[in-house]
Structure 1
Amino acid sequence: MIYHFIEVNPFFFVLIICPVLSLVLGAAFALLRLDKKIALLLAFLLPLLSTTVNWATFKANIDAWLLWGSIYMIFAYVSGWVIRK
């Protein structure tokens, strides 16, 4: 889905941009004292920006979404935990 708007290498997006976004989400929600569950949910949904072009692509990449989404949730949780500590 993100590839319709900008021309970026998929590995760059998955390995650099999404982890940074998840760290920022966790830190921002911790600094603003918002519910961390929302930040974790948003971090979990980040891989959908790169794996969901159409329904067939989504079905083929659901395992990658679950794996990367879980990793990004951990990043967001750890960054929020470090900021609140």
Structure 2
Amino acid sequence: MAEAFWFGPGSFGVPLLLLGALVLRQTRRGDRVPGWLGSGVVAWAVLLGLLGGFDGGTLILLLIGALFLAGAWFGKNPHAAVVES
């Protein structure tokens, strides 16, 4: 039953797999994941938690969003000028 929920055509599994593919593509190219993506995932997790309770899946989704935000804030900027001394 749980597998049908996560991997059915109308589930959250397919968009999350696409989101993961986008993040992998961005990081392999040396780009940062945009901060708005992390903010959106955090907002989605908080909304799910408020509506249905903060279970394990919601907490993991919240952690993923927080990691996206941390990467956007503290990650290397590939477009910054390299200063040699």
Give the TM-score of the pair, scaled to structure 1: 0.39
Q: Which has the higher helix share?
A: 1
Greater RCO structure (CA 8 Å; 6+ sep):
1
Report the structure number with the largest CA radius of gyration: 2
Give the TM-score of the pair, scaled to structure 2: 0.39
